[in-house]
Copies of this chain bind each other. A is one copy, B any other.
């Protein structure tokens, strides 16, 4: 039985070079007060100049860009194959006239990395979303021809107005037509003020533990409400972090739609598909949820045949020195093992689903 990690990120050298040239978020820099290590600053609000550089962003070491470390991590954790994706924030920040070329270069680089580890690595590509729509659509068709690509990773901002923007229809259409999976992943979280005046005391906990999954939930709900899946009935999306919170909130979301006076009086679309229908037909969930409770809810919502193991490497490494096995990875392994009593469904989630859905035997 293969074990496949479908949620694992990489900063390929061309992306690292790009981030090192920048002075505003996102960027990589070595600060004067800590010359021995570079910092990766990617999240809004991580770049507070009043704080010491060691509390800004996170140290970036070779685990972020050296593929040999990814392979060593896979070996350590018995992972046979990984479907790597560019780490957030992808390319949304690039000027329109630079995005297309940057995406081609990064996608080619990632594809080459996979070629060097034939059979062990596949990838999700990155789209030049700030470019013209035809540039984006061209890259989608080009990705289809790259041997190790199996879909695209996508943030929640779309072309700048979110994923309920009708201007995205050509992008959805091209992805549906070429049968490429969208890996929907958060980056921006929520506005800082929602965490209150003491949020800094909790480090990155509130933005990462709550902001990320809530961002995903809002994004996928906007896709549902605007009818993306009513128009593109074969568009497939893999939601990061087991759907954010969608499995838990799907019932409330559906109830609120059915009880909303404005939506009713505006006229419900005849072809409106329920949240549950889309969850069981178009949505896949990763199993990066760190608990048996969350994992079981994900299974109930979309089915054990639609759930895929992941690690979120290189994020959430052990804080202790000299610990080789990652607690964050083992939390997800343990949840799968317990939820299924290690039966056939565990094997499906750990690898068989990914092989089937992403054609990893080709």
Show the binding face of A for B, using Cβ within 8 Å: 55, 58, 161-162, 164-165, 190-191, 193-198, 201-206, 208-210, 213-215, 217-218, 221-222, 225-226, 241-242, 245, 247-264, 266, 289-294, 296-297, 300-301, 316-319, 327-328, 331, 335
Contact = CB atoms under 8 A, between A and B. Distances in A.
B161 A196 contact: yes
A194 B197 contact: no
Contacts of A162: 196-198
A149 B36 CA distance: 62
Contacts of A247: 248, 293-294, 297
A80 to B, nearest CB: 24
Contact of A252 (B250, B255, B289): B289
5 contacts: A191-B193, A214-B245, A247-B293, A259-B316, A297-B297
A291 B222 contact: no
Given A221-B209, A222-B195, A296-B300, A331 B251 contact: yes
Given A255-B290, A293-B301, A300-B293, A201 B266 contact: yes
B256 A204 contact: yes
A214 B207 CA distance: 12
Contact of A213 (B202, B252, B328): B252
A248 B210 contact: no
A289 to B, nearest CB: 6
Could you say how many copies of this chain the assembly holds?
Answer: 2
Nearest to A211: B218
Contacts of A300: 292-293, 296
A179 B201 CA distance: 30
Contacts of A242: 248
Contacts of A241: 252
Contact of A256 (B205, B214, B249, B296): B205
Which applies to chain A's interface (DSSP): helix, strand, loop or mixed? helix
Contact of A191 (B194, B251, B319, B328): B194
Contacts of A331: 251, 255
A193 B196 CA distance: 17
Interface centre among A242, A249, A261, A335 (most CB of B within 10 A): A249
Nearest to A326: B259
A7 to B, nearest CB: 13
A185 to B, nearest CB: 15
Contact of A196 (B164, B195, B294): B164
B335 A294 contact: no
A249 B294 contact: yes
Nearest to A250: B291
A202 B249 contact: no
A243 to B, nearest CB: 9
A340 to B, nearest CB: 14
Contact of A204 (B202, B214, B262): B262
A194 to B, nearest CB: 6
Contact of A198 (B193, B208, B217, B226): B226
A55 B262 CA distance: 8
Interface centre among A213, A248, A249, A335 (most CB of B within 10 A): A248
B255 A316 contact: yes
Contacts of A264: 319
Contacts of A215: 194
B249 A203 contact: no
